[in-house]
Structure 1
Amino acid sequence: MKTFKVIVMLMVVATISAFTIHNSQGYKVGDVASDFKLKNVDGTMVSLADYKEAKGFIVVFTCNMCPYSVANEDRIIALDKKYKEKGFPVIAINPNDPEVSKGDSFEGMKVRAKEKGFTFPYLFDEGQKVYPMYGATKTPHVYILSKQDDKLIVEYIGAIDDSSRNENNVKERFVEDAVNALLKGEKPSKTDTRAIGCSIKDKRNW
């Protein structure tokens, strides 16, 4: 009986964690974002400055192990395929500490990227310096940036769409709507949504 109660409590905590909005000290919509340089799964170092012709970026904090991230992988690939040639490539970042989440090592990232055929950079936030700067709290957590006068402006923060686990239930595609608006020279009608997923694994917080 005691074991059953413990299991129930752990399930409740996990559910609350997935759906809770955490206040962060990171970027807000309208802020100027800083660039970064992180290692890609192919061993190269990647920064946003490398993309000279880009109009902006779809920055996605994601990982190998979180079921919410896994459920969104095909959608992330589709976003890159749809918008990369239009000037908004996907840049995926794994923010997890592999000492806390064993399956989120750099070697594990290389395996996952190959298995899924990622068409975008999959970067490792070694030392966990970038995700706090952005204020990401979940995997997945999306930040859409636009280039304006050599600055990176945060245009949208939140979820990919309105169905965190089942793409068949999607009714509103937040990221697509936001990028489509930016491509037309307009501001997104919805700029903040709730990111639903697993909490980022940082041993400083565990």
Structure 2
Amino acid sequence: MKVFKSLLLLFVLSMSVAFSIKPRDGYKVGDVIEDFKLKNIDDKMVSLSDYTDAKGFIIIFTCNMCPYSVANEDRIIALDKKYKTLGYPVIAINPNDPKAMPGDGFPQMKVRAAEKGFTFPYLFDEGQKVYPKFGASRTPHVYIVSKSKMTLEYIGAIDNSSRNPNKVTEKYVEDAVDALLMGKKPMKTETRAIGCSIKTL
């Protein structure tokens, strides 16, 4: 019985690691993504086609309540401030169902954005129609897209320290965008997204 329980525990742990390494079925690096239209915290609808001068996008699935997302908010703001003027703005999307996570409702998103001074759109994936197309499974989960052909160039984490910015030694998103700005492909095109599972009913 003890052996069975140990094997069962090992199986569950291995499965949880596997699901945290790979995104759900959805876009893969090299795929062409579809545009979307979602409501921003200013009550206006936003789509990628609105950004006529953009070279690409740093799309980040994030939320209010996940500690990992909260720990990365300042880094997300810094990414937008650094790369928006270079043609790669941040587009943040909250994929959580507020019925499953009330603190991630649209009114709460407005409050959080104001508190933190978000410099980027914070969109609500109402009905959870967009995140499954991307295959996002965590918050935060990053997708970098080049606009010329709407091609997905990178999937994964912001950097190699999910909670503590002082322990960052590899800046995955910055390295990827810097490469794209130089007309090159990112050295790393996929990393493990570490965070909270996306909440559904």
Letter in 1 for 2:24: S
Answer whether contact 1:100 1:202 (CA < 8 A) is retained. Answer: yes
**Corresponding residue number in structure 1 for 2:88:** 88
Q: In 1, Cα distance between the equivalents of 2:110 and 2:59?
A: 19
Report the CA distance between 1:147 and its aligned residue.
1.4
Matching residue's letter, 1:36: F
C-alpha contact (below 8 Å) 1:36/1:48 kept by paired residues: yes
Checking the alignment, whether the CA contact within 8 Å between 1:93 and 1:124 is kept in structure 2 is yes
The answer (yes or no) to whether the contact 1:41–1:122 under 8 Å persists in 2 is yes
1:106-157 per-position Cα deviation (integer Å, ceiling 9, x unaligned): 0000000000000000000000000000000000000000012xx2100000
Counterpart CA distance in 1 for 2:25 and 2:62 is 19
Cα distance between partner residues in 2 of 1:19 and 1:50: 34
**Do structure 1's residue 174 and structure 2's residue 172 form an aligned pair?**
yes
- Give the AA of the match of 1:154: L
Report runs of 4+ in structure 1 exceeding 3 Å deviation: 16-19
Aligned to 1:122: 122
Instruction: Pick from 162, 165, 174 the counterpart of residue 163 of structure 2.
Output: 165
Give the structure 2 partner of residue 202 of structure 1: 200
C-alpha contact (below 8 Å) 1:57/1:91 kept by paired residues: yes
User: Which segments of 5 or more consecutive residues in structure 2 lack a partner in the other structure?
Assistant: 1-8
Amino acid at match of 1:53: D
> SS in structure 2 opposite 1:59?
strand
Counterpart code for 1:171: T
RMSD value, Cα = 1.7
Structure 2 CA distance for aligned equivalents of residues 142 and 20 of structure 1: 13
Distance 2:157 2:26 in 1: 16
1:123 alignment partner, SS class: strand
Query: In 2 relative to 1, CA 52–76 (structure 1 residues): closer, same or farther, beyond 3 Å?
Result: same
The CA distance in 1 between the partners of 2:64 and 2:197, in whole Å, is: 13
- Is the 8 Å Cα contact of residues 22 and 192 (structure 2) preserved in structure 1? no
What secondary structure is seen at the aligned counterpart in 2 of 1:20? helix
- Kindly provide the CA deviation profile for residues 149-176 of structure 1, in whole angstroms up to 9, marking residues without a partner as x: xx21000000000000000000000000
Counterparts in 2 of 1:46 and 1:18: CA distance versus 1, 3 Å:
farther
Query: Normalized against structure 1, the TM-score is what?
Result: 0.88
Unmatched runs of 5 consecutive residues or more in structure 1: 1-8
Shift of 1:201: 0.3
Distance 1:126 1:36 in 2: 12
**TM-score normalised over the length of structure 2:** 0.91
Does the aligned pair in 1 maintain the 2:21–2:191 contact within 8 Å? no
Match of 2:147 in 1: 147
Matched, 1:137 2:101: no
* Matched pairs, number: 189
Q: Does 1:33 align with 2:25?
A: no
